[in-house]
Structure 1
Amino acid sequence: MLKKFLERTLEWTSSLCFAGLIAVVLLQVFARLFLARSPHWTEEASRFLMLYMVAFASGLAARDRAYVNVDFLLNMFKGRLRAFVDLCIDLLSIVLMVTIARYGWDNAMVGRIQTSASLSIPMHLVFMAVVLHAVSVAFYTAIHIIDDLAALFGQRRSS
C-alpha cells in the first residue's frame, strides 16, 4: 500500500515538474522572440523544476534498477552468486544514500536563511531535493535488498 502510494506520488510529481519545465522554457522562448521583455524568473524556475523532476524520478529509476551499471560483468554471475553481488551493490548504495541524505539535510538547514534571487523561494526547500532523492532511492534499494536476501537463501525473487 505504501509502496504503491509512493510510486504514484513520484510518478505524478515528476510528470508535473516535467510539464512545468516545458511550460516555463516555452514561455521564455516565446517572450524572447515576440515580447519586448522576457521574464527574469524563468531560468531559475527551470533549474528548480529540473532538480525536483530528477529527485522525484530517481526513486522510480531505483525501483526498476535502471541506473547505469556494468551489466556485462553482472550477467556473468548466476543464481546465488548473482544475488550476493546484487546484495553487496545494494548495501553500498544504501550507505551512499544515507550519507547523501544526512549531509543533504545539513546543507538544507544552512539554506534556511537564504532565498533564491528571482523567485524569493527559501533555498532550504530547493536543497531538500537532494534529501528527497536519497530517501526515495534508499527506500527502493531496501526493497531490493529484501529480494536479494530471498534469492540468496533460495527463494524466488519478486523483481
Structure 2
Amino acid sequence: MSQGNDDRNAPLPRMSKDDAVKWAENYTAHMAEIAGVELTESSAKTNFEDCVGANDEVAEDGRYSLYYYVDSPAPTSEHTRIVRALRSELSKKGYDVTSYREFKDSEESAAFSARNKKNGYSVEADTVGSGKTKPQAFNFAVRTSCMLPPGVEQQQF
C-alpha cells in the first residue's frame, strides 16, 4: 500500500474506477499499436483488486488496484516480434523490463513484463492458450498501483 516508499500512510494517487478502466483500455490499445496488431475487444476483462499491505492489512477506504487484460488474434509467428517491439519502445518511455522470454518449442511464444518507474503501473504481454485445446492468442495486460477513489478519506495505519 505504500507505493514503493517507506511511508505506508503516504497519500495515494486518486482516480475513479471508470477513469482507471478508460486508461487501461487506452494503454492496452497503445501497446497493440506499438506491436502493430489489433485487439479483440470482446475478450477484455476488468478486475478490481484489494490493495494488501506488507503485513497483510486491507484498508476499508475503497482503495483498489486494477488488473485489465485483452487478447489479440496475432499469429504465434508474430509473438516474438511483438515482445521485442514492446521491450524497445516501453524502455524508452520510463518502463523497467522486469521479465522477458522468447520460447521456441513446438510453437513460438513469448512473454514480457515491465514496470513504470514513475507511477508503479505494470504492463504484461504474452502468449496465451495451449495451441492444442485452446487456440493461441496474444494477451496485453496492465495493472495499476494502489489508488483511492476521489472524495474518499484515506485510512491511516
TM-score between both structures, scaled by the size of structure 2: 0.27
* Greater C-alpha radius of gyration: 1
Larger helix share, 1 or 2? 1
More relative contact order in 1 or in 2 (CA 8 Å, sep 6+)? 2
TM-score between both structures, scaled by the size of structure 1: 0.27
